Structure 1
């Protein structure tokens, strides 16, 4: 009976430990994306994004009731951000929740976007990641934007 109990405890501990390690790597991946955005570092940003990642904006329909514009590819997002940035944009984030199941992770992030230290807008980003071997890559980001922020 005692060996069985020890084996069960080891299994539970190893799963919890693996979850904690994955959560750490997921956070690092998300933080690296935003650090790359702050530094306007194209390679740092692309290093976090899956090659077929999509970045979608939930509330950017042209008029209410119209379809939302198609999402950007990882390359288009990074290119657009790099041209616009000039090193003066800072998206400050707070990671609220991380859910992980095997090779799939979902991260809920509040953010505030500043340009030249002036708050432009805020909102929420839902970031989906997939584990590719030992690395977590962002496969999908959808965000909303609000102009009135606390």
Structure 2
């Protein structure tokens, strides 16, 4: 009976560690994406994208209406891997991370800089899937604005 109690107690104390590991691995996948952008490395970028990745953006038109824009991941990957004058530096803060088995969602406020010059800010929302090779990004949607940015 004493051995059973010890085993059950150790298992219960280990559960938070397993959840934390997934959250750490999820953060690593997202950080790898932004490291790839800063380095201009499309191979590194593709390493964290799942097949069938979907990109969307919510933009506000000058008249104040919001529009959903579908973007092509291949165009983004090519743009990242094409040499550019300024470093693309998207600085994020991890917000809410939810995990249910092989599915995760992540909310990250961000500020985007071209080199040292502020460009815009918004929210990135990621959906990730746990695969045999680790967490992969399957969906990204974001907002973009030049004011009312998080501090």
TM-score by length of 1: 0.85
Per-residue CA distance 1:1-29 (angstroms, 9 max, x = gap)? 54443333233233222111111111111
Distance 2:139 2:32 in 1: 15
TM-score by length of 2: 0.85
RMSD between aligned alpha carbons?
A: 2.3
Alignment of 1:1-150 (within 5 A): 2-59=2-59, 65=65, 67-73=67-73, 75-83=74-82, 85-148=84-147, 149=149, 150=151
Shift, 1:50, TM fit: 0.7
The answer to which of 100-109 and 60-69 deviates more is: 60-69
Residues 90 and 115, structure 1, Cα contact 8 Å, conserved in 2: yes
- SS of residue in 2 equivalent to 1:22: helix
Residues 93 and 109, structure 1, Cα contact 8 Å, conserved in 2: yes
Residues 32 and 44, structure 2, Cα contact 8 Å, conserved in 1: yes
Residues 88 and 115, structure 2, Cα contact 8 Å, conserved in 1: yes
Aligned residues: 149
Shift, 1:145, TM fit: 0.8
User: Quick one: structure 1 residues 42 and 62, their matched pair in 2 at CA, closer, same or farther if it must change by over 3 Å?
Assistant: farther
Shift, 1:110, TM fit: 1.2
Shift, 1:89, TM fit: 1.8
Any gaps of 5 or more consecutive residues in structure 2? none
Distance 2:59 2:145 in 1: 9
Per-residue CA distance 1:53-99 (angstroms, 9 max, x = gap)? 111111266965475222323x2221133347445221111112221
